[in-house]
Amino acid sequence: MAPDSKQAPTDDWPSDDDVQIPGVFESWRSIMIPSILGIAAIATAVSSSKFGELWLPPSNPAEMQLYIARILLFGVFAVWSYRFVDATHDQMFLWKKALDYVEPPKKARLAVAVTALYLGLLMSLPAHIVIASGFFTLSLLVNYWTQWMCNDAFYDASLTSKETYAGVAWRIQIIEKMEHFWLRLPQLARITTMMFFSSIAFSLALAGSVQVDPQRSQYELAAYEILIADVVIFEAWMFVWRRNLYKEIDDVLRVNGKLKHEPKKKWALV
């Protein structure tokens, strides 16, 4: 989990072509996306036919709002899953570039498998709001564990990297920017708050399951709305945090003449 002790300090910033992600993370995107989709397909096939009904407009106009909510929740889960995979890929490159991150711990390999499992299962559940909201709440416990593990691993790696690059001021500045993102921003509080709102959604969905229409539909619709807002708002929050981190690092590289070309996106790390 520590930086490569054999690598001498350098006054250069490696390009993406120079960076090799080791071990289980070597083909992160090509492994994770098919795994998530495969798990979602299997879970859908063995659960019920209700997923197929998700895409069929209801004959009863009173059910139209629930129909739209189910479609939106599926879309939110799909985008959230892709954003997770994409952001993790970018952050792994950043760890390698800034910290000489070499080998992930065994727990990280387990986290990859567990994450693919729960993201895939989430994508198969939009038509089952009670199960979806309950499972999402439980999955946030896993998210809390992986974030805590990531923060702890980053802390150890950053200490070693600061010693390694003690004489390279711009590299120390980048590590300090990363410390703010992983150690000072309320990452764990964000996940805890998401869990609080998803628990409310689960409570409403569970209460609605023992009601009759129109009360059942009203409870379920409220649960969908809260769950969708929960994911969208906090993913937007994370997007802003990541964009600020990458922009600040790009600024450090630019000022020190290390920015080899302008990023294609304002939030992209070169």
- At 170, the pLDDT band (50, 70, 90 cuts) reads very high
Residue 126 three-state SS: coil
Q: Which residue has the tokens 């302008």?
A: 262
pTM attached to this predicted model: 0.82
Beta-carbon count within 10 A of 169 CB: 11
Backbone angles phi and psi of 194, in degrees to 5: -60, -40
Supply the pLDDT for residue 241.
Answer: 94
Instruction: Give the mean model confidence (pLDDT) for residues 204-212.
Output: 93
pLDDT at 221 over 90: yes
pLDDT at 5 over 60: no
pLDDT tens-place string over residues 94-139: 888 888 776 555 656 666 677 777 788 888 888 889 999 999 999 8
CB neighbour class for 69 (10 Å; exposed up to 12, middle 13-18, buried from 19): buried
CB neighbour class for 101 (10 Å; exposed up to 12, middle 13-18, buried from 19): buried
Here the tokens at position 55 are 């895409």
Here the tokens at position 97 are 């570039």
Supply the pLDDT for residue 47.
Answer: 56
Angle at 256 between CA 169 and CA 252, to 5 degrees: 75
- At 267, the pLDDT band (50, 70, 90 cuts) reads very low
- At 22, the pLDDT band (50, 70, 90 cuts) reads low
Range among 8-22, 80-94, 100-114 with highest mean pLDDT value: 80-94
Backbone angles phi and psi of 60, in degrees to 5: -90, 115
CA distances, 86 to each of 80, 81, 133, 203, 223 (Å): 10, 9, 24, 32, 28
- At 270, the pLDDT band (50, 70, 90 cuts) reads very low
